[in-house]
Amino acid sequence: MATQEKFGVTVHKNPGGPDIATTGAKILEKDGLFFKDLAGTGELLPYEDWRLDIEERAKDLAGRLSIEEIAGLMLYSPHQMVPAGPHGPFPGTYGGKTLEESGAAHWELTDQQKNFIERDHVRHILAMVLENAETAAKWSNRLQSFAESLPWGIPVNISSDPRHGSSSAGAEYKSGAGDVSKWPEGLGMAATFSPELCREFGKAVSEEYRAMGITTALFPQVDLATEPRWMRFEDTFGAHPDMVADMSRAYCDSLQTTENSPTGWGKDSLCAMAKHWPGGGPCEGGRDAHYPFGKFAVYPGNNLSDHLKPFLEGVFRLEGPTGRTSAIMPYYTVSWGLDQKNGKNVGNSYSEYLIRDLLREKYGYDGVVCTDWGITADPSPEIDSFSSRCYGVEDLSEAERHLLAIENGVDQFGGNSAIAPILEAYEIGCRRHGEAAMRKRMEESAVRLLRNIFRCGLFENPYLDPAESVKTTGCEAFCQAGYQAQLKSLVLVKNQGALPQRDRKKVFIPARHIGPMKAFFRSDLPAQDIQPISRELVEKYYDWAETPEEADFALVFIESPLSDGYSQADRDAGGNGYVPISLQYRPYRADAARKESIAGGDFREDFTNRSYKGKTGTAANEADLDLVLNAKRAMRDKPVIVVLRMHKPTVPAEFEPSADAILVDFGVQSQAILDLVSGRAEPSGLLPVQMPANMDTVERHCEDVPLDMEPYRDSAGNVYDFAFGLNWNGVISDGRARRYPKP
């Protein structure tokens, strides 16, 4: 056996066993092996013995914890910024001072982090902004060292939302910059029609996340995207049930698997939290449940079964030894009419039928169930708000909401960092069920939560070598693989001889204009003018033309219509506030919409009919259409190439006749687009969705049924249906589409 000291960590090497790393905990030696004395008893307790089964260790530790300590495990920290600034929604201080005033290193712990770890026993921390890989690794080491010094020595489980999406990355491919590799967004990965590539993606994500100390991924989003107007459509793997199941299975399997481990779990594993049970896709009228006006999921096609397929045949049926995704997140939605037991229309986490009866009992899921963020606080009195989503249980107290979710089988509360409501829920539960029963129920959650920390090897060695973290994160191999995946995700749907533009020519690229609109948090965004691509990057391929007249071809960047489903102006004018979400650019009158909404009812409204029939929907980026039409007029017979950033299926009828080529981008770096336009790469992606013929077919489709719209037929006779795509030789027919026949 050998002992090493490096970057402030002492590592004890076990022959044939895990490394034992510590910054302060005492070491026990037994049977010629090293163990941590995390409890400080001087004796080897079962939870400290890495030779035992994880389940046995988790149960032993859970049984030793106080209710306060268990409650802390059920919490999630606020979003953490590393380093923390003095202002904004998630500020932090260092010894009561700002970072600059304190002189603290960027990876030091804030006062707030120390408080919620020690005082509230929080062990699940959500990392939002990490300055770079080195800072992330050193901050992780500080967190783990602090946690190790506290009673029981329970490590911290750092989690993160997706970081690898290429649409928000820099314009050009690069590696070694301390950031993670960049890959296609969810729909872009689906456009490759390759679960094998998705598996490769998961491998890169797990290695880079673990290098930064992250051990839980708050993804993948495995919702079946059946509703084309949904704002979260682009983060899914598309609309085909079998494809979404295959992609989700491959992704979760690669995220969680440590190779050559009998259980699949170990030092390379990343716990996956698949979302959103039982599927967030069928939102009525496309309105999203982040907002009270979009809280209802509806099933006019009686098609819950397809929405469960990514779970039952995907993330619950992994090919590797980890078996199932380690955690599940229910969505905010009220899944209207699904409760066959109690007939209650409440948010999914509050539904006994959906969580306990279906998820836990019928389908036997025993992993962590974590609510989506912010569902337990009291609601805002304003329906057009970004606030608590305690849908259907607004009349309960905050503690009673926690208890109801716990009774249903929920283990953890996303976005909740206050311990008091859980402790109050426990007291109410003791009066209702008896202390023994309530203690048993709380321990069940503790076991599930601790199990994931044990699975990742954190009790033995949670520490990182910052130099190795920098080498792994954003390494050349991962960045190159991600960039190649971006190229494979681009879909060419029209090409009348306009592509590729191989020679160095003059290109005209018009600036975009977006009118005023609502932001994600429902604040008002002013109008903005946007240069869609860097001139410096373009000039590596072509000469920049200031006017269409001097250009050889036009490259017009547009995006899917930006449309909102709720209008204060409509409400002020005496309407119900509900308006159409449009997938076309010009104003659209919803004459084909439902006369009566399927779902309705809210304490803030004195009506139940949320219909918008006969009202007009608009797009904040209507000017995108004018860019195409004006370019066509100005360019005359010279090629007009449209690049559509499609975050939702878009009606092409208004602009397709004026385009000589249309390239669909689901979220890639600009360089990938130019590599394809210039012929340095050839398009190979296929549509993972339908592009609808018109808005009438959108209104008539069922929100819960996949691929049930009439697809658009273009002027060349091609139909923009699921699995359609072109390469330089014409329609792609390489066998991938046969893998996923249209339902």
Cα–Cα–Cα angle for 125, 140, 164, rounded to 5 degrees = 75
How far apart are alpha carbons 376 and 131 in whole angstroms?
31
Q: What is the pTM for the complete model shown?
A: 0.97
- Residue type at 306? D
How far apart are alpha carbons 742 and 727 in whole angstroms?
21
Cα–Cα–Cα angle for 707, 709, 710, rounded to 5 degrees = 125
Beta strands 327-330 and 271-277, pairing class: parallel
Residue 348 has pLDDT above 80, yes or no: yes
pLDDT in tens, 252-276: 999 999 999 999 999 999 999 999 9
Is the N-terminal amide bond of 220 cis, ω within 30° of 0?
Answer: yes
Give the chain's end-to-end CA distance (angstroms, integer): 59
β-strand partners of 334: 296, 347
pLDDT in tens, 273-331: 999 999 999 999 999 999 999 999 999 999 999 999 999 999 999 999 999 999 999 99
pLDDT for 4: 73
pLDDT for 88: 79
pLDDT for 171: 54
Q: Which residues, 6+ apart, have CB-to-CB distance to 333 below 8 Å?
A: 276, 280, 283, 289, 295, 296, 297, 347, 348, 391
pLDDT in tens, 662-708: 999 999 999 999 999 999 999 999 999 999 999 999 999 999 999 99
- Residue type at 1? M
Residue 169 has pLDDT above 60, yes or no: no
Residue 175 φ then ψ, to 5°: -135, 165
pLDDT for 413: 98
How far apart are alpha carbons 162 and 197 in whole angstroms?
17
pLDDT in tens, 3-40: 677 778 999 999 989 999 999 999 999 999 999 999 99
Is CATH 3.20.20.300 the classification given to domain 55-472? yes
Kindly state the average pLDDT of the residues 377-385.
96
pLDDT in tens, 113-128: 999 999 999 999 999 9
Residue 166 banded pLDDT, cuts 50, 70, 90? confident
Kindly state the average pLDDT of the residues 487-495.
98
Query: Lowest mean pLDDT: which of 46-50, 64-68, 175-179, 290-294?
Result: 175-179
Q: Which residue has the higher pLDDT, 179 or 425?
A: 425
- Find the helix or strand (DSSP H, E) in which 34 lies: strand 33-37
Residue 178 has pLDDT above 80, yes or no: no
pLDDT in tens, 128-148: 999 999 999 999 999 999 999
pLDDT for 8: 85
Residue 168 banded pLDDT, cuts 50, 70, 90? low
Q: Which residues, 6+ apart, have CB-to-CB distance to 579 below 8 Å?
A: 564, 565, 566, 567, 570, 612, 615, 616, 617
Residue 616 has pLDDT above 60, yes or no: yes
% of residues, the chain, pLDDT over 70: 98
Q: 634-651 burial, b for 16+ CB within 10 Å, e for fewer?
A: bbeebbbbbbbbbbbbbb
Where are the domains positioned within the chain? Answer: 2-52, 55-472, 491-564+621-665+678-739
Residue 177 banded pLDDT, cuts 50, 70, 90? very low
pLDDT for 664: 98
- The CATH class of 491-564+621-665+678-739 is alpha beta
pLDDT for 669: 95
How far apart are alpha carbons 184 and 220 in whole angstroms?
13
CB 112 within 8 A of CB 144: no
Residue 58 has pLDDT above 80, yes or no: yes
Q: Which residue has the higher pLDDT, 426 or 171?
A: 426
Kindly state the average pLDDT of the residues 159-171.
80
What is the strand order of the sheet 730-731 is part of?
543-545, 506-508, 553-559, 640-645, 661-665, 491-495, 726-727, 730-731
CB 36 within 8 A of CB 20: yes
pLDDT in tens, 417-435: 999 999 999 999 999 999 9
pLDDT for 173: 46
% of residues, the chain, pLDDT over 90: 95
